[in-house]
């Protein structure tokens, strides 16, 4: 019997022989390391890859054009006469106050596809971005003149984007000083959260956020422990830049705090965790740390249950009505799947460079990115007909190149059957509006149905609405209503439902005062018509006036047969009350008032535009591993190629006019020597190569766990 300790010693040697021996470099295949990627197809179908660099450029030309005219246009404008800052909406038709997670992302995106954002369309968008720096708190915040203390991800992410922008436009002393201030302030935040070196203790990020003025945690009924991931990322970069030991300490504290979470309690909340996975891999490679990168990467991909900071969130691994949605990021449980553009783009930017620091991830990241880059087209209006999107009319009229994405895409549309009529009002009157006023939620100006009691006898006020019942089994009655107090201390408005106007009625819920929307699941036995009744419980005369009932919106929510459905959370406003957001509860806003087309997510598209280029073989992408590896050490051009086909493919690349050696970091071999111009190499089926274009004739040196060519690191050991 072979002793396990012998196997542990010999297997790495066997693996090294396979990757470097006579079987050929192409057989240096890493075992799959991301289980969720294994369920994805090698060849996504249907395949329709957009030119993401062109999408980025066309997007910026549209949203940063002051001369655009039309409904909701131009999208950019000046906030003041001195032109110190621009307005920039998060949604087409939404409020125009700029957010850093939107504006800074757009500037980064343009930079990643080669635009000089210091002088794009005649404006210095980089300098305008410094308006998000809060001098008093010493950090970047999400809104000009805003502050911290609401949410970790909203407070940390603007600083991540700022660090990216500062790397893309180096040499500005004022911005460098801001970068140092950001790192110092968030180091102090880590200390305020319990970080210690003697005795050693980790900061506790199990809070909603932290107010940097008071250095006190903020609790809002949820935790966002992934804040540690974003802080770790820019603290490590700050240490590389400023060599202040406190910043390296903060990065270490933060990664360790992420590692300390039990597997079932993934810290993933919104968008920051992938940055923690990347910086853990990078610190392992560059600092000799021993962080559990696999645990953090798995937490980015694999949805977890109710103990996760945001249950059900991860990477979609599913096919939606004949369309591959594999690789997109969002909720896997909300209505069967709800993916978001911003999260998808950011996952790519943070995790693609990870393959450079840990080549064992090359195949999985290559396969995932092929699926992601293909499915990401589904965020855009031109991927769907009018029935499968919420804001078709505006997109058709004003976005001919289809470059403004929907905030998200659902596996299926949440239908909403609205009231057909006011069937009857007894001992009361309609003061404002009608049943039609209940069809949308939160209209501007407000359009609501308002009732007032009129009878003085002991019989209650009563109003009945009529609905057609959708022919599906799973249906929910959702109502957003409020009682306006006229002095009846004990009065409530009781809602009930029946199949016939004369009843019998089944109690549903009661409305006492302002509060969240209320929902009740309807029995599957109900058919055809539904009658909803509201009646008061106390008819006595109040102190000053009679009670009023105001109904903003009512709907019977259900799963439609429309799949997928491109939308967002502005027009389609969700009330998730049951089963950890798995149940479809929805109220709609009028599409004429605004749209679900989100600059909020679209502004991050330059990540794909900068990273991805096509090759001579369809479905084999070139992924630039340096493009979003900010503040990396000296490196030669480095690209990842994944072959999804069942046979070996020959790839042709342009290495330039200077002689190069082509080195593959997966197999740790020079596979071509002294080549110029067009060069060819093969990739076996379902494998990846990390190609480094090094100067010809460079000396190969293997130094511990690293491989160097002419003293430049080209490979880090797994």
Give the tens place of pLDDT for each residue, 652-693. 999 999 999 999 999 999 999 999 999 999 999 999 999 999
Q: What is the average per-residue pLDDT within 206-214?
A: 98
Give the tens place of pLDDT for each residue, 161-177. 999 999 999 999 999 99
Where residue 457 falls among pLDDT bands split at 50, 70, 90? low
Q: Rg of the Cα trace of the chain?
A: 28
- Full DSSP string of 431-492: EE--GGGGSSSS-SS---EEEEE---SSSPPEEEEEEEPPSSS-EEEEEEEEEEPSS-TT--
Where residue 578 falls among pLDDT bands split at 50, 70, 90? very low
Q: Indicate the range of 167-181, 427-441, 454-468 predicted with least confidence.
A: 454-468
Residue extents of the structural domains in the chain = 1-30+636-718, 52-412, 414-559
pLDDT at 580 over 70: no
Give the tens place of pLDDT for each residue, 252-301. 999 999 999 999 999 999 999 999 999 999 999 999 999 999 999 999 99
Residues 435 and 419: beta-carbon distance below 8 Å: yes
pLDDT at 434 over 70: yes
- Owner of token pair 């990664």: 255
Residue 680 and residue 620: Cα distance in Å, rounded?
14
Residues 136 and 213: beta-carbon distance below 8 Å: yes
Which string of b and e fits 61-93 if b means at least 16 CB within 10 Å? bbbbeeeeeeebbebbeebeeeeebbbbbbbbb
pLDDT at position 542: 53
Q: What are the C-alpha distances in Å from 293 to residues 277, 438, 644?
A: 6, 51, 25
Show Cβ contacts of residue 196 under 8 Å, excluding neighbours closer than 6 positions: none
CATH superfamily, region 414-559: Galactose-binding domain-like (2.60.120.260)
In eight-state DSSP terms, residue 131 is G
Residue 69 and residue 72: Cα distance in Å, rounded?
8
- For the 52-412 domain, the top CATH level (class) is mainly alpha
Mean residue pLDDT of the chain comes to 92
pLDDT at 226 over 90: yes
Where residue 334 falls among pLDDT bands split at 50, 70, 90? confident
- Full DSSP string of 574-625: E---SGGGTS--EEE--TTT--SBBHHHHTTTHHHHHHEEE-SSTT-EEEES
Where residue 23 falls among pLDDT bands split at 50, 70, 90? very low
pLDDT at position 139: 98
Name the helix (H) or strand (E) containing 154. helix 152-168
Backbone angles phi, psi at 623, to 5 degrees: -110, 120
Which of 628, 715, 621 lies closest to 348, judged by CA? 628
pLDDT at position 482: 94
pLDDT at position 30: 46
pLDDT at position 16: 35
Give the tens place of pLDDT for each residue, 72-102. 999 999 999 999 999 999 999 999 999 999 9
pLDDT at 591 over 80: no
Give the tens place of pLDDT for each residue, 53-72. 999 999 999 999 999 999 99
Residue 303 and residue 65: Cα distance in Å, rounded?
40
Q: For the chain, how long is the longest CA-to-CA vector?
A: 100
Q: Which two tokens stand for residue 414?
A: 């949440």
Residues 705 and 717: beta-carbon distance below 8 Å: yes
Where residue 538 falls among pLDDT bands split at 50, 70, 90? confident
Q: Indicate the range of 29-33, 369-373, 520-524, 568-572 predicted with least confidence.
A: 29-33
pLDDT at 320 over 50: yes
pLDDT at 160 over 60: yes
pLDDT at 20 over 80: no
Residue 585 and residue 516: Cα distance in Å, rounded?
12
Q: Indicate the range of 339-348, 553-562, 644-653 predicted with least confidence.
A: 553-562
Q: What are the C-alpha distances in Å from 208 to residues 240, 323, 582?
A: 29, 36, 23
In eight-state DSSP terms, residue 254 is H
CATH code given to domain 1-30+636-718: 2.60.40
**On the CB side of 687, how many CA atoms lie within 13 Å of its CA?**
22
Residue 566 and residue 413: Cα distance in Å, rounded?
8
pLDDT at 9 over 70: no
**On the CB side of 660, how many CA atoms lie within 13 Å of its CA?**
22
**On the CB side of 540, how many CA atoms lie within 13 Å of its CA?**
8
- For the whole model, what pTM was predicted? 0.91
Residue 385 and residue 381: Cα distance in Å, rounded?
8
């Amino acid at each position: 019997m072979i002793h396990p300790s012998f196997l542990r010693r010999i297997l790495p040697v066997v693996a090294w022989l396979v990757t470097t021996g006579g079987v050929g470099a192409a057989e240096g295949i890493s075992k799959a390391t991301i289980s969720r990627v294994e369920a994805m197809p090698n060849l996504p179908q249907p395949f329709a890859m957009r030119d993401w660099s062109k999408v980025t450029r066309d997007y910026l030309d549209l949203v940063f054009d002051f001369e655009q005219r039309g409904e909701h246009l131009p999208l950019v404008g000046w906030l003041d006469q001195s032109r110190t800052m621009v307005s920039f909406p998060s949604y087409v038709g939404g409020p125009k106050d700029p957010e850093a997670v939107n504006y800074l992302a757009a500037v980064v995106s343009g930079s990643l596809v080669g635009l000089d954002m210091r002088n794009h369309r005649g404006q210095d968008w980089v300098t305008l971005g410094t308006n998000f720096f809060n001098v008093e708190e010493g950090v970047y915040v999400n809104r000009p003149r805003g502050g911290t203390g609401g949410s970790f991800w909203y407070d940390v992410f603007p600083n991540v984007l700022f660090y990216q922008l500062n790397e893309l436009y180096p040499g500005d002393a004022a911005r460098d000083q801001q970068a140092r201030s950001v790192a110092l302030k968030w180091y102090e935040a880590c200390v305020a959260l319990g970080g210690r070196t003697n005795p050693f203790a980790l900061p506790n990020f199990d809070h909603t956020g932290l107010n940097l003025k008071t250095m006190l945690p903020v609790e809002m009924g949820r935790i966002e422990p992934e804040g540690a991931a974003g802080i770790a990322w820019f603290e490590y970069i700050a240490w590389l830049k400023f060599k202040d030991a406190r910043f390296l300490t903060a990065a270490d504290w933060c990664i360790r705090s992420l590692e300390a979470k039990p597997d079932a309690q993934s810290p993933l909340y919104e968008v920051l965790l992938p940055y923690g996975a990347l910086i853990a891999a990078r610190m392992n490679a560059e600092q000799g740390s021993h962080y559990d990168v696999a645990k953090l990467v798995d937490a980015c991909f694999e949805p977890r249950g109710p103990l996760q900071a945001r249950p059900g969130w991860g990477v979609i691994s599913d096919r939606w009505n004949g369309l591959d949605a594999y690789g997109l990021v969002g909720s896997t449980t909300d209505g069967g799947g709800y993916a978001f553009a911003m999260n998808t783009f950011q996952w790519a930017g943070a995790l693609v460079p990870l393959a450079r620091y840990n080549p064992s991830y090359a195949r999985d990241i290559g396969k995932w990115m092929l699926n992601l880059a293909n499915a990401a087209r589904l965020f855009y209006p031109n991927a769907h007909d009018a029935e499968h999107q919420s804001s078709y009319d505006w997109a058709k009229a004003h976005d001919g190149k289809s470059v403004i994405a929907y905030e998200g895409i659902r596996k299926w549309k949440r239908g909403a059957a609205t009231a057909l009529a006011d069937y009857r009002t007894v001992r009361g009157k309609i003061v404002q509006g009608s049943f039609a006023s209940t069809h949308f939620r939160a209209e501007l100006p407000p359009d609501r149905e308002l009732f007032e009691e009129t009878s003085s006898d002991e019989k209650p006020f009563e109003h009945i609405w009529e609905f057609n019942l959708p022919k599906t089994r799973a249906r929910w009655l959702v109502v957003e209503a409020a009682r306006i107090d006229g002095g009846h201390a004990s009065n409530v408005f009781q809602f009930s439902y029946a199949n016939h106007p004369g009843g019998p009625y089944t109690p549903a819920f009661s409305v006492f005062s302002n509060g969240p929307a209320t929902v009740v699941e309807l029995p599957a036995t109900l058919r055809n018509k539904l009658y909803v009744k509201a009646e008061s419980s106390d008819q006595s005369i109040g102190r000053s006036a009679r009670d009023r009932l105001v109904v903003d919106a009512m709907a019977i929510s259900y799963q439609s047969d429309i799949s997928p459905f491109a939308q967002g959370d502005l027009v389609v406003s969700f009330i998730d009350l049951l089963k950890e957001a798995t149940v479809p509860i929805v109220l709609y806003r009028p599409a004429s008032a605004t749209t679900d087309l989100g600059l909020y997510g679209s502004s991050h598209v330059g990540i794909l535009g900068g990273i991805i280029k096509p090759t001579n073989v369809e479905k084999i992408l070139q992924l630039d591993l340096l493009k979003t590896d900010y503040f990396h050490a000296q490196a030669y051009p480095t690209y990842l190629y994944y072959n999804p086909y069942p046979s070996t493919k020959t790839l042709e690349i342009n290495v330039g006019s200077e002689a190069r050696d082509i080195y593959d970091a997966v197999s740790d071999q020079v596979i071509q020597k002294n080549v110029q111009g067009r060069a060819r190499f093969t990739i076996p089926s379902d494998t990846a190569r990390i190609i480094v274009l090094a100067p010809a004739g460079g000396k190969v040196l293997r130094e511990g766990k690293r491989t160097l060519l002419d003293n430049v690191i080209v490979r880090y050991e797994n």
